[in-house]
Amino acid sequence: MPNDKFLLIKSWGCGFWSDVDHVMGQLLVAELTNRIPVIYWGTNSLYAESFKTNAFDLYFEPVSNYSVYDIIKPQYTYFPPIWKHDNILVEDLDKITWIYRNLGEMIGSNADVVVSDVHYFIRPIINYITKDHWAYGMTAQQIYRGLFDKYIKLKPDIEKEIQDFFDNNLRDFGPTLGVHIRGGDKIREVENLAKFNRKYHKAIENYLSKYDIKKILLLTDCEDIVNDFTERYDSMVVYTDCRRGAIYATDNAPHLQNYTQKRRKGIEIIKDTYLASKCNFFIGNGYSNVSYTVKRLRDWPEDNIILFFRDLKNELKLAKKRAKAVKSKQKKEEKGHRVEYPELYGGVNTYVN
């Protein structure tokens, strides 16, 4: 241990699979830099039960034989330099400035402990993969697959709960289709989400007719969507017992709510995601970490999975709409500024005596 170097992977503090995505990228960095990975999801994790627990360990088996307490040593050096042995358990509220968080600096650091609390996807890390590494020449998807298989092991009770639901509701019912459709706070990330979601039913009908689907596993955070699907597809639809909200509940989405048992919040997300990965087919939202994780948990035949994105025409249309809104806002602010400070525009400031 005296000569060991470590990479402390702290919580990114966002959605569950977003935090796991952050972990995946840093596990790859740990391999590339010959560091021992130590994962610690502390108080800023949305899925932590208390300030004393490591939330990651509530759901997954450890990825190494070391805990965060093994790397709290006065003699150790840390990077970024804001970290010391007596503060690495707390959160840096200024991390959004990304000071000292440049990927190259982190990878090149000689500190005993490098601390990572910002999110890098796999794609930019690919540039640092050397020819002797197992991931050399692979796509980001292939690397994610390898990392999930290598490092992510569920706690036994979670694994059992998933398997029990699968055995009772999906295993013996012929071809199954998983469908992940979002509402709630996702409307902030995906413009025209309602129109976007209308793509689903045509794709579902295609799968139903082509593959004689017997059961549809519905993953959603909205009760309204559950009601819509049960009306359309009746007894074909199955779904887990989890907390859901209204379709436009932007400030009260389930993952933002407080649970009496916070561990349950994480389990609900894991359970849906792993169940979907057990289905024969899957349709999901290409802007969601849940859907992407379903894709990364197994090797899908190309025709068996669809992730929806907006097409380029719609992206350009929305970009023009956003630019127009920004320009309108700027004009309004300029007009207000002229009224408030007329002396700057050749007028007279009537507020001056």
What is the pLDDT, as a whole number, of residue 183? 74
User: Measured between alpha carbons, how far is 217 from 237 in angstroms, rounded to an integer?
Assistant: 6
Sequence-separated (6 or more) residues with CB below 8 Å from residue 300: 282
* 3-state secondary structure (DSSP) of residue 11: coil
User: Measured between alpha carbons, how far is 118 from 96 in angstroms, rounded to an integer?
Assistant: 8
Architecture of domain 175-308: 3-Layer(aba) Sandwich (3.40)
Q: What is the Cα 150 distance to its own chain's centre? A: 19
User: Measured between alpha carbons, how far is 45 from 63 in angstroms, rounded to an integer?
Assistant: 18
Q: By CB neighbour count within 10 A (0-12 exposed, 13-18 middle, 19+ buried), where does 1 fall?
A: exposed
**According to CATH, where is 3.40.50.11350 located in the chain?**
175-308
Sequence-separated (6 or more) residues with CB below 8 Å from residue 267: 59, 158, 161
What is the pLDDT, as a whole number, of residue 247? 61
Sequence-separated (6 or more) residues with CB below 8 Å from residue 302: none
Phi–psi pair at 322, nearest 5 degrees: -65, -40
Looking at domain 6-151, which of 3.30.70.20, 3.40.605.10, 3.50.30.30, 3.40.50.11340 is its CATH number? 3.40.50.11340
User: Measured between alpha carbons, how far is 350 from 353 in angstroms, rounded to an integer?
Assistant: 8
**According to CATH, where is 3.40.50.11340 located in the chain?**
6-151
Structure tokens at 283: 């349709």
Structure tokens at 127: 């540039």
Structure tokens at 51: 């300030």
What is the pLDDT, as a whole number, of residue 320? 61
Helices (H), ranges, the chain: 16-32, 56-59, 103-108, 122-125, 140-151, 156-169, 193-197, 199-211, 223-233, 262-277, 289-296, 312-340
Residues of the chain short of pLDDT 50, as ranges, are 312-313, 315-316, 349-353
What residues are paired with 218 via a beta bridge?
Answer: 179
User: Measured between alpha carbons, how far is 176 from 198 in angstroms, rounded to an integer?
Assistant: 21
Helices and strands: H and E segment counts in the chain: 12, 9
Measured distance between the N- and C-terminal CA atoms of the chain, rounded to whole angstroms: 74
What is the pLDDT, as a whole number, of residue 271? 97
Query: By C-alpha distance, which of 241, 208, 209, 246 is closest to 224?
Result: 246
- Regarding pTM above 0.95, the answer is no
User: Cis bond leading into 80, ω under 30°?
Assistant: yes
